[in-house]
Amino acid sequence: MTEKGIIVLGAGRSSSVLIDFLLDHAEPSGWRVTVGDLDIKMAEERIHGHARGQAISFDIHREEDKAQIKNFDLVISMVPAAFHIHVAKICAQEGVNMLTASYLNDDIKALEDQFKQNGVGLIMELGLDPGIDHMSAMKVLDKIKASGAKLKTFETFTGGLLAPSKDDNPWKYKFTWNPRNVVLAGQGYVKFLQEGRYKYIPYQKLFRRTEVIHIPEHGYFEGYANRDSLKYLDAYKLRGIETLYRGTLRRTGYCKAWDVFVQLGATDDTYQMQNVAELTHRQFINSFLSFNPNDSVELKLAHYLGLEIDGEEMHKLKWLGLFEEELVGLKEGTPAQVLEHILKKKWTIRPDEKDMIVMWHKFEYYEGKELKRLQSYMAVEGEDSVKTGMSKTVGLPLAVTAKLILEGKLQPKGVFIPTEKFIYEPVLEALEPYGVNFTECGME
């Protein structure tokens, strides 16, 4: 057996399940697994002394580090998205297969011919969302198209949530991914297609335009729209469809309470606040409200946004400690950065807590003149605060695809996202034993 070398660039929390999978398969498959990170201690923690693992210090800006990439059979890039282009250029030039969970962009797509000429492939958007969403959706969409039916509607929602528990957290939510992305979610304009018409939602209205979704076995959720659903018209080959809508799932009641921060301006990331080092949680909220020496911050907020003083939204804000005279704990920051820092105090997942990933697709299509409705859904729970559902669903698609490529069962040549049947079929099949599987059923 010829020994194969894999390098994982980036040892952050999203790589934990991925690296464990590669190490578990390293001995029987004849692999050597190298993990490179700016923080070599983090890389060493991921390898945890495995005989076929190696941890190295890796900086994408160091030429001697980049030069090592050509020595591997496969590169899995988990570096920040802006740096994938540097890795991709080397892989294209040196003929090394590459995988990543990040979005494909035009600069990387331009390397397509070079990857093809060197007989290797780059598959991007191979995580959860994007990734599992592409593959699970295309499996059903292609099946519907192949039957000769005419597609009318495709809606898809994904949520990274807390697993059901007896905790008293009224938001039923904690950070399971990059907190900054949660705070900035939905900024800009949202675009989608509904009943043949283009629709737009400005940011200040986004969390008021929600949809209640029932997922069998898992209960009720609410969904808000993602920024740009229209780019999937071509990615999913859906030109001519009447409704195309992509969104994010939260537990019911979340969006109304989150909208308080949006309406206050507390999610703004465009300017620096003053005297942040001396700012308390209560003063942070008060800084967005009008001056009134006679009314409390709670009364001013409730009056300003038309909230009930003892209502559900105010309860959620109190639970977060937003009316406490507790120092924020930052020296400087934008409103969004201050809010993120406050939220981390209550929304950081504890070691004994589990997260849950939920994904739901809805399809409407005509068989002749008869309109049919189908739903497809998945839920994956984490094991703990390290082997989270999020790290599973981001890491496992990369892991099983790496195995397929190294075994010669998948031979991409060029630059892809996993919407092609030759990619999504074997990858989805390989994911099933790990609990990443979908239930399909009709809808009333």
pTM score, two decimals? Answer: 0.89
Q: What are phi and psi of 310, to 5 degrees?
A: -110, 20
Count of C-beta atoms within a 10 Å radius of residue 201: 18
Location of each CATH 3.40.50.720 domain in the chain: 4-124
Reported residue count of the chain is 444
Location of each CATH 3.30.360.10 domain in the chain: 132-258+351-381
Query: What is the third-level CATH fold of 4-124?
Result: Rossmann fold (3.40.50)
Spatial CB neighbours of 14, under 8 Å, sequence gap ≥ 6: 78, 101, 127, 177, 390, 391, 394, 395
Question: What is the distance between the alpha carbons of residues 137 and 125, in angstroms, rounded to a whole number?
Answer: 14
Residue 58: exposed, middle, or buried by beta-carbon count in 10 A (0-12, 13-18, 19+)? Answer: buried
Spatial CB neighbours of 409, under 8 Å, sequence gap ≥ 6: 426
Q: Which residue has the tokens 């283009």?
A: 198
Q: What are phi and psi of 170, to 5 degrees?
A: -70, -20
Give the CA distances from residue 46 to residues 217, 384, 387, in Å, rounded to whole numbers and listed in that order: 35, 16, 12
For strands 150-162 and 243-251, give the pairing: parallel
Give the CA distances from residue 282 to residues 70, 124, 436, in Å, rounded to whole numbers and listed in that order: 54, 43, 43
Q: Where are the alpha helices (DSSP H) in 151-207?
A: 179-183, 203-206
For strands 121-123 and 211-215, give the pairing: unpaired
Among 427, 425, 407, 423, which residue's Cα sits nearest to residue 415?
423
CATH number for region 132-258+351-381: 3.30.360.10
Among 21, 126, 44, which residue's Cα sits nearest to residue 84?
126
pLDDT digits (tens, 9 = 90+) for 257-311: 999 999 999 999 999 999 999 999 999 999 999 988 888 999 999 999 999 999 9
pLDDT digits (tens, 9 = 90+) for 22-50: 999 999 999 999 999 988 998 998 988 89
Spatial CB neighbours of 368, under 8 Å, sequence gap ≥ 6: none
Question: Identity (one letter) of the amino acid at 134?
Answer: H
* Residue 139 Cα to chain centre, angstroms: 20
Q: Where are the alpha helices (DSSP H) in 77-189?
A: 84-94, 106-109, 112-117, 132-146, 179-183
Q: What is the residue-level pLDDT of the chain in tens, covering all 444 positions?
A: 578 999 999 988 778 889 999 999 999 999 999 999 988 998 998 988 899 999 999 888 888 888 889 999 999 999 888 889 999 999 999 999 999 999 999 999 999 999 999 999 999 999 998 999 999 999 999 999 999 999 999 999 999 998 887 678 999 999 887 899 889 888 888 999 999 999 999 999 999 999 999 999 899 999 999 988 998 898 889 999 999 999 999 999 999 999 999 999 999 999 999 999 999 999 999 999 998 888 899 999 999 999 999 999 999 999 999 999 999 999 999 999 999 999 999 999 888 889 999 999 999 999 989 999 999 999 999 888 778 888 899 999 999 999 999 999 999 999 999 999 999 999 999 999 998 999 998 876
